[in-house]
Amino acid sequence: MGRIVAWLQERVPVSAEQLAELTNEPVPNHLKKWWFCLGGTPAYLFVVQIVTGILLALYYQPSPETAYESIRYITNEATFGWFLRSLHKWAATLMIAAVILHQMRVYFTAAYRRPRELNWMIGMCLLMATLLTGFTGYSLVFEQLSYWGATVAANISDAVPLVGRFAKQMLLGGDEYNARTLSRFYILHAAVLPTTIVLLVVCHIAQVRMHGVTEFPDPQEPPDRPRYFNFFPDHMLSELIIGLILMIVLCALATVLPATMGPKADPLTTPEVIKPEWFFYVSFRWLKLFSLSFAVISSGFIVGAMFVWPWIDRFLRWITGIEDISVYIGIVATFLLIGLTVWEAAVSH
């Protein structure tokens, strides 16, 4: 055994002590509270998506003639196909929900403030990449709703000033949804966006390691008590518990509410009701409330403001003198987000 370790150390000159030091970063005590442990959840679900996605890709054929049939084969015939597809669908739903919840936690605890502004922007990029991955994945099914959802999304992007037409052509591979569109979605969904997410996650974690986790000291904690605890094994075990619970929840959702299939896409028949996936309900309702150009420009403005929020927050605090001004704005924004989503979900048109 000793000889094997020595052989390994010669080729990988990292000592166990160095490794322990590298991984055993001191973790602030507030992370012992469970709701602060949700940052790892999206990453965990992302791994599930990678694994199930690779297995689904073994069968999926991205062309209008074969896409729907290949998913029908996965769902109805391939061994465990229904389970993997359902896991993929539910993990996507939970991942988007987890990213949004994580970002809300960061926002309401003002963890984006100096010197962590750049990490907030990386987080925003991750949110955008996750939403885009969800959108492109839904479009791959090539059922009526996903087809028409993609068509509507492309038409919306067309309304963006200056770059809209170019973005639509890049997305669809032409002016209309055509034989090349699905392969574009597939490449984006299975290669470009996951790679982007991996790179952004690396940057995100590197930033966390460089700056450390934002501390929220408990005023009631005795001053002589240590302010930190070890990442390994204590925090690691907490993350493992969350991961296992997530897997059980995913299995339950996949078996009780398995992924289904709507009718196959028919470019000649527009469905009476077109709905995107739930995470775009808010934007969809926003679009219905205003004219297309105003809704698109205002959406762009809101997203842009979210990107540079750390500086906007600083500016608002400076002119109003209210330390928690962002919290009040956040509460209004959250109600708006939930209200518009529920509204869109509740009505058929």
Candidate residues 213, 247, 274, 337; the one interacting with another protein per rule CB under 8 A: 247
Our CB check for another protein shows the closer of 70 and 157 to be 70
Whether the CA torsion 328, 295, 144, 126 is positive or negative: it is negative
Our CB check for another protein shows the closer of 23 and 155 to be 23
- Contact region with another protein (CB under 8 A), list: 187-195, 219-227, 247-255, 291-299: 247-255
List all residues 6 or more positions away from 281 whose beta carbon is below 8 Å from its beta carbon: 275, 340, 341, 344, 345
List all residues 6 or more positions away from 316 whose beta carbon is below 8 Å from its beta carbon: 322, 325, 326, 329
Residue 79 binds another protein (CB under 8 A): yes
Residue 233 binds another protein (CB under 8 A): yes
Place of tokens 């962002």: 326
- Contact region with another protein (CB under 8 A), list: 21-29, 47-55, 180-188, 234-242: 234-242
Size of the site for another protein (CB under 8 A): 19
Place of tokens 């709701």: 35
Our CB check for another protein shows the closer of 240 and 302 to be 240
What is the C-alpha to C-alpha distance for residues 335 and 188, in angstroms, rounded to an integer?
Answer: 32
Three-class SS state of 132: helix
Residue 251 binds another protein (CB under 8 A): yes
Our CB check for another protein shows the closer of 68 and 279 to be 68
What is the longest distance spanned by two Cα atoms in the chain? 73
Candidate residues 22, 248, 305, 342; the one interacting with another protein per rule CB under 8 A: 248
Contact between 98 and 38 under an 8 Å Cβ cutoff? The reply is: yes
Q: Is 11 exposed, middle or buried (0-12, 13-18, 19+ CB in 10 A)?
A: exposed
- Contact region with another protein (CB under 8 A), list: 144-152, 233-241, 273-281, 327-335: 233-241
Residue 73 binds another protein (CB under 8 A): no
Candidate residues 179, 240, 342, 347; the one interacting with another protein per rule CB under 8 A: 240
> What letter represents residue 57's amino acid?
A
Residue 175 binds another protein (CB under 8 A): no
Place of tokens 């991961």: 243
Candidate residues 252, 289, 302, 345; the one interacting with another protein per rule CB under 8 A: 252
Region 28-67 residues binding another protein, contact defined as CB under 8 A: 32
> What letter represents residue 331's amino acid?
I
Q: Is 142 exposed, middle or buried (0-12, 13-18, 19+ CB in 10 A)?
A: buried
Compute the least distance from the CB of residue 56 to another protein, in Å: 16
Candidate residues 191, 206, 244, 322; the one interacting with another protein per rule CB under 8 A: 244
What is the C-alpha to C-alpha distance for residues 96 and 277, in angstroms, rounded to an integer?
Answer: 11
Instruction: Show the binding pattern over residues 253-292: x = contacts another protein (CB under 8 A), - = does not.
Output: -xx-------------------------------------
b/e map 155-194, b = 16+ CB within 10 Å = ebbbbbeeebeeebeebbbeeebeeebbebbbebbbeebb
Compute the least distance from the CB of residue 247 to another protein, in Å: 5
Residues that bind another protein (CB under 8 A): 32, 79-80, 82-83, 233-234, 237-238, 240-241, 244-245, 247-248, 251-252, 254-255
